[in-house]
Structure 1
């Protein structure tokens, strides 16, 4: 077989402020691959089907000297993130051609993966769409399910405030809270997203761009749990609206990711006076074999039964990665952002 194009999406330069498609990251077609003869060295050859685009990727677009919880992207190298792929060839007994897998992969059409320790074979007994495994049945769903289970300490009748309530994490958190008998207040950045939150059962859904968050929480609070995806002024409002002993789950702070001057929260003394529990949460810290089994035994089945509802914002082709990243950072996406590379 003659070599074929192996398109990639590369990190090109460290951005100041929002990433710029075609400048911060670029699509590249300079590499080729021979699918029949490329050495596997005991590994597997994967055809990428879907890649996840997530808010945390902005934090990896930094100089290598700047430390963080995840390693930075390397200039001139492909971006990487969670993906679903199809095994084309295998020299590893745990995988065979035709298997579908979930793995952390570079953004390219075909990948030889020699280290398969963290490659998960997807059985998909529920027959849900493969793209779901980079969304509600993937890392965002894991974040919502495990963060809620471990840190919320939720009790029926309590009130939770969920930010980015129409997003891939927030929408699952909101639905888990409703299933647990809680009152759910949730915010999002457009009227269309507010309508979606209402459809999934949110009790108080509002557009934070047109409605004052402080006033909403004064009217419908106080709150016992705060799921934070945004930080900044919204975190400040939640601190004022919190009941004593409230639990804050700090999952993300996207309002600050592209700012050169971060917002200074001015009421941190509430943490002391109200005896608040505040937990920073990175899902990879909690993906033990037991928790992984619990998640995959539970969430895909709930999706298949229609017990969890979510949106997917699909873009087709690796050349659309930069646009998808900017949409997520600026809140223009509608649901889980997915790059579809191939259907099969």
Structure 2
């Protein structure tokens, strides 16, 4: 199979979907790999390394989209790429369809096979491709939050960990999954007072066992969210529902009641955001203020640390990409249920219920 790796064109996206070691593996399996010129430059991987691994470097995306049977990307196709897609192509990337009707309609119209990184789920109920990027985003959320709490950044002027005699910042994390857990680890390590809210009591028990004493776990409900959001200096939105649009668990009224100069990092923005006042931003223009509260809603947070993120991502995507390339998507899906869960649409038909429900559209489940 011809495997294509186009250069990412989303604003401030520096990751690449395949490293040279992955090219070598593809070639060992008998596949041809096309890499767009400078696709790896943002991650510190020059074209020469891809050439040495056996890839063919092409000048632009047109040749890749025209020839590749399997497109491996990092982020969803953007409007200027829509017309390049062929109806016999399998696209393997982060899609987050429930956050965008435009993207959903475009991919249905292109009649591609869309396999979404974020909905691949293994036999243990884990999301192996989403996990490393959630780890990065969770850790970065505290790094960015600490920065924007500084007064020159128009924050409250609070040091996350405080100093002897002065209280540390109040960090509130809504969602105790991979993002929330990694955010809590970093915030706790810096000495903040951390509260994690989640609806799963079993998860809260686990977090209570593994976290240090400056982390408190609380059952998430309307009342506890209302109380803790008002107390927060830094609020991390880490709500995830697989494949679905994130619910607005923090209302506009709650944001309005927050402390002036408080910071919201809505990591759920890829799925539409879990804070009602959130809207997508970029690394070039990452924040805006509403009700005197700083909102950081970058849709590709891990892209800022592209070298780390690219290697972490390809560590987990490569085995699935090889399986799809070796067998074709149909046989790969028959033999691996995780890939079935990753397939969101097939040649103009939605196959993911959560995406269909987000827009009130019909779907056909893959049997």
TM-score range, shorter chain: 0.3 to 0.5
Structure with greater strand share of residues: 1
Structure with greater helix share of residues: 2
TM-score, structure 2 length as denominator?
0.43
